[in-house]
Amino acid sequence: MTKKHALAALFFALATMAFAQANPQIDVTIRFYDKKIYYVQGASNDPVYVQITIANKSPAPFYFKLADDRAFSVDFEVKTIANRPLQQTDYLIQKRSTVQQVFFRYVSIEPGESFSFVEDIREYAALAEAGTFVVQAKLYPDLYKPQLVSTVQQTAATPLSPLASNRLTLNIRPPSIIGSDGLPVAMDVETNAVLVREDLAPDNMIVYMLAARQKSQWEKFFLYMDVEAMVKRDETRKRQWLAESEEGRQRLTARYRQELQNNIVDNDIVMIPMRFEIMRTNYGREEGTVTVMEWFQIGNYIEKKQYIYTIQRKEDVWMVVNYTVQNMGTE
């Protein structure tokens, strides 16, 4: 780094800290990115995603450092309702205690704008027990520096002072019921009852699935979907799945389901329709198709798509195993 660049970076950091201290109009808010039922176990395939949003409500730009590894930019304080803090994860402690170079970039948020990113609370707090917890995030505009945070008294005039967020209530339930396939049994978020597949007619099954998606009820949405079959729609994923052990296949299936929920893969099937209409149902004893017209609100216009869901009879119930989608224009 040249002397000119070093001076510019120093000025940038000082300006950032001075602004953050003098302007309480920098709001850090958190919300659950994908609200669902959370359980004690399953840290690897049951993340607790929280979206962190930094909003600039001041009349001047706000600058801060954002580490490539977000653990050096944010922290989560998780406490029981009795105000007892949970321990940090071993993974986080090891990461922050290792001598390393922290890579970061400068982020500028203009007045009236905001910046968001998503983090998994399980990477920060050891959620090893069931209960109700209070979660608060902290943003470190000049990066998290453990050796200084532990020794310097935090005051409003201290450049290390983090920006605190609102608080969320997090409910962690006891270990879920494991089915014969090794995966957790689906539970109804509203009633906490075990969801049971019923012998619905093909069109009624699709209506159930799409209505659940409209309400963001993921467990009901996946109830009549053969996620394993959906994994194998893609040839690359299919080869990976075939090469895995039974345990590895379960992990792949769980990861695919999570990626669907996070809109990482096969976005078409998880889009939320504003309305839908069953157009045609064709089926025999073991397989069939259901054709559905679905409408989506995209900005200021409505997009129309035709879905053809391929269904198969499995264990005496109809399940979705594949789909195709065709754009039908806008309205």
Q: What is the pLDDT of residues 20-48, one digit of tens each?
A: 444 558 899 999 987 777 877 654 557 89
The arithmetic mean of pLDDT across residues 271-279, rounded, is 96
DSSP code per residue over 82-150:
TSPBPPBPHHHHHHHHS--PPPEEEEEE-TT-EEEEEEEGGGTB---S-EEEEEEEEE-TT---HHHHT
pLDDT at 175: 64
The answer to whether the beta carbons of residues 85 and 77 sit under 8 Å apart is yes
| pLDDT tens, residue by residue, 135-163 | 999 999 988 876 544 444 444 334 457 89
130: tokens are 């069931």
CATH for the stretch 3-173:
2.60.40.2360
pLDDT in the model for residue 178: 52
When pLDDT is averaged across residues 118-127 and rounded to a whole number, the result is 92
Between residues 189 and 315, the one the model is more confident about? 315
pLDDT digits (tens, 9 = 90+) for 200-257: 999 999 999 999 999 888 888 988 999 999 999 999 989 988 888 887 888 888 889 8
Rounded mean pLDDT, 124-141: 91
Taking the model in full, what pTM does it have? 0.50
Give residue-wise pLDDT tens across range 162-201. 899 999 999 887 765 555 455 555 666 666 566 778 899 9
Q: What pLDDT, in 10s, does the model give residues 73-95?
A: 999 999 998 899 999 998 899 88
Does residue 134 surpass a pLDDT of 90?
Answer: yes
What is the structure's pLDDT at 218? 86
Cα 109 to Cα 14, 37, 57, 114: the distances in Å are 16, 34, 10, 6
Strands 38-39 and 163-173: parallel
Statement: residue 324 has pLDDT above 50: yes
- Domain 202-330: assigned CATH number: 3.10.450
Query: Residue 196: its pLDDT value, please?
Result: 77
pLDDT score recorded for residue 148: 46
**Listed range (5-14, 101-110, 136-145) with the worst mean pLDDT:** 5-14
Contact between 60 and 145 (Cβ < 8 Å): no
The domain limits of the chain are: 3-173, 202-330
**What is residue 19's predicted lDDT score, i.e. its pLDDT?**
46
